[in-house]
Amino acid sequence: MTSMLSEKQAAMRDVFGDVLLELSKADPRVLALDGDLANSTKLDKVAEHNPSQFLQMGIAEQNMLSVAAGLAAVGFQPWTCSFAAFISKRAIDQIQVNVAQPKLDVKMVGAYSGLLTGCTGKTHQALEDIAMMRSLAHMVVLAPADGIEVRRVMEFAHQYNGPVYIRLARDPLPYLFDDSHTFTLGKGVQVKSGSHVTIISTGTETVRALQAAELLEGEGIRAAVLHMPSIKPIDHEAIIRAAETTGAIVTAEEHSIIGGLGSAVAEVLVENRPVPMRRVGVRDLNAESGSNEALLKKFGIAPEHIAEAVREVLARKV
Ligand X SMILES: Cc1ncc(C[n+]2csc(CCOP(=O)(O)OP(=O)(O)O)c2C)c(N)n1
- Nearest approach in angstroms of CB 198 to ligand X is 38
172 binds, among ligand X, another protein, none (CB under 5 to 8 A by kind): none
Output 36 or 155, the one with its CB closest to another protein: 36
- Nearest approach in angstroms of CB 296 to another protein is 11
Output 87 or 164, the one with its CB closest to ligand X: 87
Beta bridge partners of 218: none
Q: Which of 18, 22, 34, 254 binds another protein (CB under 8 A)?
A: 34
| Using rule CB under 6 A, residue 37 touches ligand X | yes
The three-class DSSP label of residue 67 is: helix
- Nearest approach in angstroms of CB 58 to another protein is 4
**Please, which of residues 96-155 interact with ligand X by CB under 6 A?**
none
- Nearest approach in angstroms of CB 87 to ligand X is 9
Q: Which stretch binds ligand X (CB under 6 A): 7-15, 31-39, 103-111, 260-268?
A: 31-39
- Nearest approach in angstroms of CB 60 to another protein is 5
Phi then psi for 313, rounded to 5 degrees? -70, -35
219: left (phi over 0), alpha (psi -120 to 50) or beta: alpha
H or E element, residue 39: helix 38-41
- Nearest approach in angstroms of CB 128 to another protein is 13
Q: Which stretch binds ligand X (CB under 6 A): 30-38, 181-189, 231-239, 258-266?
A: 30-38
H or E element, residue 65: helix 61-73
> CA angle at residue 182 from 181 to 183, to 5 degrees?
135
DSSP H helices, 91-197, are 92-94, 129-134, 147-159
Name the pairing type of β-strands 77-82 and 30-34: parallel
The three-class DSSP label of residue 63 is: helix
Nearest Cα neighbor of 13 from 124, 177, 151 is 151
H or E element, residue 207: helix 205-217
| Using rule CB under 8 A, residue 49 touches another protein | no
What is the contact surface with ligand X in residues (CB under 6 A)?
35-37, 59, 86, 90
What is the contact surface with another protein in residues (CB under 8 A)?
34, 36-40, 44, 47, 51, 56, 58-60, 62-63, 85-86, 90, 118-124, 288-291, 294-295, 298
